[in-house]
Chain A
């Protein structure tokens, strides 16, 4: 049986989610920040983490976005194959949600229409939409606005199979080192391993939407996440890049089968304002 979903419903949800996520971080991110503020060894680092805690309170209380870069809206839609959308196209409905959310929420319009001519579209559209079809009759919407201070520090490496797991580790560590203070640490590191050039990039971005502190279900991938997090926090970059023991809150890895000749690795870096929110309709 097909279930009809009016696209206006998508628009309303996306509008609300764009606003909510820019004013209030998910509980997992807030918990990670609070824990770090206790454990950070550098006094200046602790001072900065306390500023970030206070920043979250002010954002929620006074309705000021957590960060002025309210991001380019990235939207993941997992659409049940028994859903039939009516009332318009999904893409238009999603962008209308972004448009309304960024206008009504006093969010910054950071999108230029043509990457070379660079004229601001003034409504933060279009978003970047990733759709997949899944079993069932539900639609899972994830909104994850991405700031570009950290996006600009993200990297793709096309490794050789012989580079192996050690090669993967050095890619992640070098991307984090290069990012240094620019990516607004403490960061969350999304990693995609395998697939193709574009597949690993999408996995790395999607990995950022995973709850902070939850690990991969694949035992050796979980081990790799833990090892990399420990190593990253030994780099010394620290909060704000001003030195310390908290450089990252989490390393989230997604994997996919790949070709006999390749080992693609994407490292998507996100600042401590790692905004992600999910709803199912």
Chain B
């Protein structure tokens, strides 16, 4: 089913989302990938504050290509989520409600999603040109020295994703392949 949601998320919107839903996100989301997650983890270990407020927010696993003049961002598709798995349960326990990436997650992440009533979306990997058109503005807000891996605040409009793991723990990757498996 096609749905439209607004970010930051609220509990009501998340409850409605089911694995397999095609969802258009509008609002504010944040980009962070490997190196930014590592830094956030180190900050938490030292008891320092994070550069972004996680509460009800969505993190997009993204390292964009450079923007041409006059454009907010370059190519901007998802990166593989599993590399963030090590850091994710802790962020979910701190209030993070959504993630956009591609690929499978660990059992620990799935459990943390259910425990915190959160959601994992997949964007189409390798559709970075198309996805960049749904990003209206982009601003580096932390870890600028990390280049493409810096944390960005992104304003998105009708950003297309698919719900892979919903707040009840239904997992589209597990069920969808079975449906077409003939071997």
Contact = CB atoms under 8 A, between A and B. Distances in A.
Interface of A: 41-42, 44, 47-48, 51-52, 54-56, 58-59, 62-70, 106-110, 118, 120, 122, 147, 149, 152, 180-182, 184, 231, 234-238, 240-245, 271-273
Contacts of A67: 75, 77, 125-129
Interface stretch (B92-100, B151-159, B171-179): B171-179
A225 B49 CA distance: 54
Interface residues of B, number: 47
A214 to B, nearest CB: 22
Given A67-B75, A234-B181, A52 B127 contact: yes
A218 to B, nearest CB: 25
Contact of B126 (A55, A63, A110, A231): A55
A243 B67 CA distance: 33
A120 B77 contact: no
B22 interface: yes
Contact of A70 (B65, B125, B175): B65
Nearest to A47: B22
Contact of A181 (B66, B122, B127, B180): B122
Nearest to A108: B65
Given A64-B128, A109-B148, 6 more contacts: A55-B129, A65-B129, A67-B128, A236-B177, A240-B122, A244-B176
Interface string B54-70: 00000000111111100
A63 B129 CA distance: 9
Interface of B: 20, 22, 35, 62-68, 71, 74-77, 79-80, 82, 102-104, 122, 124-130, 132-133, 147-148, 160, 162, 164, 172-173, 175-183
B173 to A, nearest CB: 6
Contacts, number: 169
Output the residue of B126, B160, B173, B180 with the most chain A CB within 10 A: B126
Contacts of A55: 124, 126-130
Contact of B65 (A41, A44, A65, A271): A65
B64 to A, nearest CB: 5
Nearest to A122: B147
Contacts of A69: 63, 77, 79, 128
Contact of A235 (B71, B79, B122, B177): B177
10 contacts: A42-B176, A64-B75, A68-B76, A70-B65, A107-B65, A108-B74, A235-B177, A241-B103, A241-B122, A242-B164
